Amino acid sequence: MDKFTGMKIFVRIIQLGSFTAVAAELGISQSSVSKKISALENSLGAALLIRSNRLVRLTEIGTNYYEYCQSILNLLEEAESQTKDYVSKPKGNLKINLPVTFGRIHVIPHIAGFIKEYPDINIELSFLDRRIDLKGDGFDLAIRIGTLPDSSLIARPLGYSPRIVVASPFYIEKYGKPHSLDDLKQHNCLIYTNLSSINIWHFTSNNQKFSVQIKGTLQSNCSDAILECTRSGVGIAVLPYWFIQHHLDDETLVPLLEDMIPVEFPINAIYPNKNYIPNKIKCFIDYMKHQYDRTPVIKT
């Protein structure tokens, strides 16, 4: 007897509660179901089920075997599904949530290439910087920058976001440069409110960690607003290279405290935990990871 067939029938008997129901589901006789279970028990040398008055109960050994059967059959189903995904052309709807600024600069430019490579995947893009309920809001996938809270979601790293302390030449001309972290306390620091510790900046230097509490006259949950106010000379900010490299190149922003490195944030693709990951999600993650591997302002 095919062992997997016997295991499947055994599991379905427990799930449906009777030999009769399993026989009807499979389109075979009840006696055939009984013979397959007897053959499975004989092969194991143990009784798995107790049958009396049309009730079916697991023996102690049967309970233990049932748990193993479920795990094995789930793995088999996952393997079959993934194999079918790999051999079939990726298709379907892919609903993605992105951080507003990062999505605008480092996702949208790659969408045309992705669609050209995978024309049967329909993409819906949504842009939010706040935390979302991935499952509840119906998203297949999200990209997030920063430390992720513990959750049932799966995270796949796409890269890291190096950051730097900057100010405009106008600000430096008027207020001078800070030469230490303590000096930052005397400067107007622009605060990005989507971070978990909005008024504390964290740094590393020579493998040591440092923190400084800052204050300022402007705070915002919009990184574009922080950038424009920094460029206008309002204050000092910590901003990612992927966002401001061209401003550093044309010297409209000036690096400060270059020996102190702001903590890098991970860039992750996150998706719900499932028995298997649909190929459309894998294809998008792999495609974006390949793009970021070639992007100097994103560390991989």
For residue 35, what is the domain's CATH number?
1.10.10.10
Could you tell me if 149 and 169 lie in one domain? no
Give the Cα separation of 21 and 55 in Å (integer): 12
- Write the CATH number for 252: 3.40.190.290
The whole-angstrom separation of Cα 237 and Cα 72 is 53
Q: Are residues 76 and 140 in the same domain?
A: no
147 with 288, same domain: the answer is yes
Pair 145, 283 in one domain? yes
Same domain for 106 and 236: no
3-state class (DSSP) for residue 152 = coil
Is residue 49, in this structure, part of any structural domain at all?
yes
Same domain for 68 and 107?
no
Burial class for 277, CB neighbours closer than 10 Å (0-12, 13-18, 19+): buried
Q: How many CA atoms are closer than 13 Å to the CA of 222, on its beta-carbon side?
A: 5
**Per-residue pLDDT at 142:** 96
pLDDT in tens, 112-161: 999 999 999 999 999 988 888 888 788 999 999 988 776 778 899 999 99
Domain boundary among 36, 56, 87: 87
Burial of 245 (0-12, 13-18, 19+ CB in 10 A): middle
Q: Is 53 inside any structural domain?
A: yes
Same domain, 284 and 136: yes
| pLDDT the model gives residue 104 | 96
pLDDT at 278: 85
Tell whether 155 and 186 lie within a shared domain: no
Residue 129 lies in a domain: yes
Phi-psi region for residue 159, left (φ > 0), alpha (ψ -120 to 50) or beta?
left
Residue 22 lies in a domain: yes
Output DSSP code: residue 134: T
CATH number reported for the structural domain that contains residue 282 in this entry: 3.40.190.10
Note whether 180 and 239 are same-domain residues. yes
H helix intervals, the chain:
3-16, 19-26, 30-44, 60-87, 100-106, 108-117, 169-175, 181-184, 223-231, 241-249, 279-293
Domain membership of residue 70 (yes or no) is: yes
Same domain, 136 and 276: yes
Q: Return d(Cα 147, Cα 265) in angstroms, integer.
A: 7
Which amino acid is located at 271 in the chain? Y
pLDDT (mean) for 225-245: 97
User: What pTM does this model have?
Assistant: 0.69
From CA 188, how far away is CA 16, in angstroms rounded?
A: 68
* Span 28-70, pLDDT tens digits: 998 999 999 999 999 999 999 988 767 788 999 989 999 999 8
Same domain assignment for residues 173 and 242: yes
Number of domains in the chain: 3
**38: in domain:** yes
Domain that holds residue 64: 3-87
Is 300 a member of any domain?
Answer: no
Confidence label for 87 from pLDDT (cuts 50, 70 and 90): low
To the nearest 10°, the Cα dihedral for 214, 216, 218, 222?
Answer: -10
Asked whether the predicted pLDDT for residue 275 surpasses 70, the reply is no
Task: Tell me phi and psi for residue 184, to 5 degrees.
Answer: -60, -30
* Claim to verify: residue 146 and residue 286 sit in the same structural domain: yes
* Residues 35, 243: Cα–Cα separation, whole Å: 68
The CA–CA distances, whole Å, from 3 to 7, 106, 201 equal 6, 51, 60
* pLDDT range class, residue 205, cuts 50, 70, 90: very high
Q: Quick check: is 299 in a domain?
A: no
